[in-house]
């Protein structure tokens, strides 16, 4: 966890997993680097928000794999789910709903979050029935911000096709993705 800058109630907090995704952001807004995965993201965001002050919003920026070939570019997520938590089974077992999908507003794509980098055609095909994009932190960031009562936006730059070779494609594209995300911040925040 690495917090760069100072959080204030009149500015959003930018949350990204790793420094490579934040490489081209200017320093006028605070940036929290959480580390990869849902646990790192949830812990970092919770610890930061608990210290206060709360930001005006949490904006999770990062890369995502496309589960369908027609999803490219920078996307603002409309809803997010956990692809590696069997919410329905837990509900049947306990009668409780745990980890339900989160509606974030708008008509953007559905993002599937899980602690697995999807670089397999079969895994991509299975997830494509439920979502358009996949990442490793979005759900955790959104759930934590919402628990603290802070508005949240998930903005993802498509870096790969989440199939065979996605790891190589991600490594080759992460710097370009970071430039595009920095441009989105300049244009929208």
pLDDT for 85: 77
Range of the domain at 14: 2-188
Contact 76, 106 (CB under 8 A): yes
Q: How far is CA 86 from CA 31, 81, 141, in A?
A: 32, 11, 19
Structural domain count, the chain? 1
Coil vs helix vs strand at 141: helix
User: In the prediction, which pLDDT does 179 show?
Assistant: 97
Q: Where do we find the tokens 């928000």? A: 49
In this structure, of 29-33, 41-45, 53-57, 160-164, the range with the lowest mean pLDDT score is 160-164
Position 80 pLDDT exceeds 90: yes
Q: Which CATH number do you get for residue 173?
A: 3.40.50.1580
Task: Tell me the whole-structure pTM to 2 decimals.
Answer: 0.94
**What length does the chain have?**
189
């Amino acid at each position: 966890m690495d917090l760069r800058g100072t959080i204030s109630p009149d500015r959003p907090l930018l949350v990204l997993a790793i420094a490579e995704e934040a490489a081209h952001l200017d320093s006028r807004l605070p940036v929290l680097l959480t580390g990869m995965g849902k646990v790192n993201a949830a812990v970092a965001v919770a610890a930061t928000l608990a210290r206060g002050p709360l930001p005006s919003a949490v904006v999770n920026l990062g890369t995502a794999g496309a589960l369908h070939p027609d999803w490219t570019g920078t996307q603002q997520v409309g809803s997010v789910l956990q692809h590696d938590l069997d919410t329905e089974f837990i509900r049947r077992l306990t009668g409780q709903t745990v980890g339900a999908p989160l509606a974030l507003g708008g008509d953007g794509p559905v993002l599937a979050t899980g602690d697995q980098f999807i670089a397999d055609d079969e895994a991509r095909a299975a997830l494509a029935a439920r979502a358009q994009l996949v990442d490793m932190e979005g759900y955790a960031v959104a759930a934590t911000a919402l628990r603290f009562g802070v508005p949240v936006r998930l903005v993802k730059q498509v870096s790969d096709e989440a199939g065979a070779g996605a790891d190589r494609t991600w490594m080759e594209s992460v710097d370009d993705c970071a430039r595009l995300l920095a441009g989105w911040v300049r244009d929208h925040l």
